[in-house]
Structure formats: C-alpha cells, structure tokens
Amino acid sequence: MQIELAESLRDTRTGKEASEILGKCVHCGFCTATCPTYQLLGDELDGPRGRIYLIKWVLEKNECSERTRFHLDRCLTCRSCESTCPSGVRYGRLLEIGRDLVEQAAPRKRGEKIIRWVIRRFLGGPLFAPFLAIGHLVRPALPARLARQVPRRRSAGERPVARHARRMLVLEGCVQPAIGPNINAAAARVLDRAGISLVSSPNAACCGALSLHMTAVGEARQSIRRNIDAWWPLFESGVEGIVMTASGCGVTVREYGQLLADDPEYADKAQKISAATRDLSEIVDQSHPGVVEGAEAIQVAFHSPCTLQHGQQIRGKVESTLERAGFPLVEVADSHLCCGAAGTYSMLQPDISGKLLGNRLRSLQRANPDVIVTANIGCQVHLESRSEVPVLHWIELMDNPGTVRKTHR
C-alpha cells in the first residue's frame, strides 16, 4: 500500500513507522474473516482492512471526522487480525498511532472526555478497592442481574517468604489485587515449589494499559516511567526477570521499549525491562511442575485471552501445562475470538461486548466443563459476570484444584 504522508508527519518517527506498517498491507482482506467486530457488525469499516484505510486517510490528510473515531473506537484491539495477516502487518501499533492522531484532529466532546477520565482514575486509583468492598457488602441485597456485575469476594491465602536464590519480579497491578488477590499468591506458591521466589515493588502500579486503551498516551508513559523507577533497583540486584500474571499487562510491559523509544532517559531501561518480561505460562512451563492431585476429576475449558494468543503470540503453553498436570481439557470452538472484555471496552461499548461475551460463553460451556480458566483478570471478571460455572485464573487451579466450587452463585 502506497502512502503520501501529510506534511506535518513527514520526517517524524511516527510517520515513518506508520508508513512502514502500511507498506506491508496488500489489501487481501484475510484479516477481515477473523475480526470479531466485522463478524458481528458486517461493515467493512468495522474490520481491520477498513480501519486501515481510515487511518491511512488521517495520515495523508491529517483530518478526520467523528465517523472515523466511531469505527476506530469499536475496535477491540484484540489483534486477531495480526495473527491472521500473511504479510505481518502490525495492526495494533498502527491503531495506536491512528487513534492518537484522531484524538488530536477531532477532539471528543467534553462529557465523553470526563467519562473516560473518571474510568481511568477510578480503576487505576485508590478508590477502587474500598468501592469493591462496599459492593461485596451490598451484593446479597442486589437484584441478581446487578449482583453478577460485582466480582465475587476472594481470599488470597498465604504467600511464601522469598527464600530462593532464583528470584523474579511480579507486578501486583491496579485492579487485580482487589478483584483477584489469590492470583499472585497462587503464582508465588506454584513457583516457590519450583525453586523460584516472587518479589514485588510497592512503588509499581498500573502497567499503563488502562491509559493506553483510552488513548491517554502521555499518561501511560508516566505510569511506565514510574514502574521502571520502581523496578530498576531490584533489577540491578539480580532478579531474573519480570513475570506477568495478567496477559493484558504483559503485552503492555513487553512494549515499554517501543513506547519510550524517544525518551533519552528511559529508552534503554525500557528496552531491557521489555526483553526480560515473560508470561507466567512461559515460566511455569519451563519449571516442569508434576501431576496435581485431584486434577483428573476436573473438566477444564480454557479461554485464551487475546493479549496472550494474539498480542504476545503465546499459544498452547497454558493448555500443555494443565494437561501435563492431569487436568482434562474440553474442546472450545472459535478459540481465537475475543470475549468482549478488552480492557475498558466492556464499559465503553457494552452492546458489542455483551454479544461477544454471550458467543464466547456458549462455546466455552458447550461441553459442560466444571470450570473455565483464563490468564487475564479482565477476561476472568467479564466471563464470570454471566458464566454458569466458576471462572478462575489457571494458576489457581494448578495451585489447588479445590478452589473450584461445583456450585456457583
């Protein structure tokens, strides 16, 4: 695809990067076939190829309309199209560039900006945990439909003390400590048995994905610099790397190097942090955990988050780890498709998100599993809001199959 960049973008790093990405697209449309929003809405502009044309127009003319933003907003950033594309088009990065330009060329209305600001502050801030605690208190009195929107109360159990020479950093994250406190605790226990201690920094917080999802790029970069400052002393003290227990955060941390490439003070550190980042499934897979007692009695359906299978291109590791541990996995159709959680998408695009959730749960529950497991807190909460069976992080199952309760809600 040929592109004539607008003058303001010529000779900029962003312009060059976008041109290079667009240059690989041959308009074949293979990506359209695996795009969840195109499948649902049937509009070319709600598929990757149509969105690529919209972004190309913005790059060339440096102008756009509300309609451009409307279609870009409806993209889940699931990156299923990247997995399908035979030409290696980095659609996710192109979308990031396109959304940023659109945000500047056609600013949102004030009300919309405020809503997006409130979501970022609320989910990434100190009010979230107390608010959730109130939700847990009033949940029994709420109508069933509303009660399902409040994530179940969970307890973490003990975390082992850091006693091994092998140490890895773990990110606690923003919403995960409140909604899923057992996830990092379970990861710490499983890795402790494998001779690896998990350590974390109290000064690290949201990975930046929350801001990136809502095109607050400057804000995301601030979060990234704060995390790098928090991690760097531990990094220099000999931790092996960073293990991510939420694939949505993992995909972002793996892109720190790219996101701070223009920052003379942080570019090098950001590259090193990204290179040292691993998904939990990669570490557990290498540690060869044995058979888990009681595993054979639990039928498991695995939902692979888009941020794991498309964003990080990690496939099959969770499944093989669970199978080696003795858990029978049921077949799940259309496993490449998004559940509709997609960061803050479920709040900003509830209709599309709800339809995708219904489709996904039908596939996941078709074989009557005892439990659905996934690898990202956002997917977990979203699936749980309508699932008939428990939904857990897969590491909780590896840690203790008893976490599964046969009756749910």
Q: How far is the CB of 22 from ligand SF4 (least distance, A)?
A: 9
Q: Are 128 and 122 in contact (CB under 8 A)?
A: yes
Instruction: Please list the residues that pair with 169 across neighbouring strands.
Output: 199, 242
Closest CA to 77 of 37, 114, 115: 37
By CB under 6 A, tell whether 142 contacts ligand SF4.
no
Closest CA to 273 of 259, 253, 258: 253
By CB under 6 A, tell whether 309 contacts ligand SF4.
no
> Would you give the binding string for ligand SF4 spanning residues 83-102, x where CB under 6 A is met?
-xx-x-x-x-----------
Amino acid at 159: R
By CB under 6 A, tell whether 51 contacts ligand SF4.
yes
Interface stretch with ligand SF4, choices 79-87, 147-155, 209-217, 297-305 (CB under 6 A): 79-87
By CB under 6 A, tell whether 352 contacts ligand SF4.
no
- Six token digits for residue 223: 């979060």
Closest CA to 180 of 282, 255, 248, 241: 248
φ, ψ of residue 277 to 5 degrees: the values are: -90, 135
By CB under 6 A, tell whether 2 contacts ligand SF4.
no
Interface stretch with ligand SF4, choices 32-40, 131-139, 193-201, 328-336 (CB under 6 A): 32-40
Q: Which of 3, 9, 21, 77 touches ligand SF4 (CB under 6 A)?
A: 77
Closest CA to 149 of 398, 392, 387, 397: 387
* Closer CB to ligand SF4, 37 or 281, in the complex: 37
Interface stretch with ligand SF4, choices 69-77, 154-162, 184-192, 242-250 (CB under 6 A): 69-77
Closest CA to 203 of 172, 167, 175, 180: 172
- Compute how many residues bind ligand SF4; rule: CB under 6 A: 26
Q: How far is the CB of 377 from ligand SF4 (least distance, A)?
A: 20
By CB under 6 A, tell whether 344 contacts ligand SF4.
no
DSSP strands (E only) in 85-231: 166-170, 196-199
Closest CA to 270 of 249, 259, 253, 256: 256
DSSP strands (E only) in 234-365: 242-244, 277-279, 300-302
Interface stretch with ligand SF4, choices 7-15, 27-35, 197-205, 348-356 (CB under 6 A): 27-35
Q: Give residues in contact with ligand SF4 (CB under 6 A).
A: 25-31, 35-37, 47-49, 51, 75-81, 84-85, 87, 89, 91
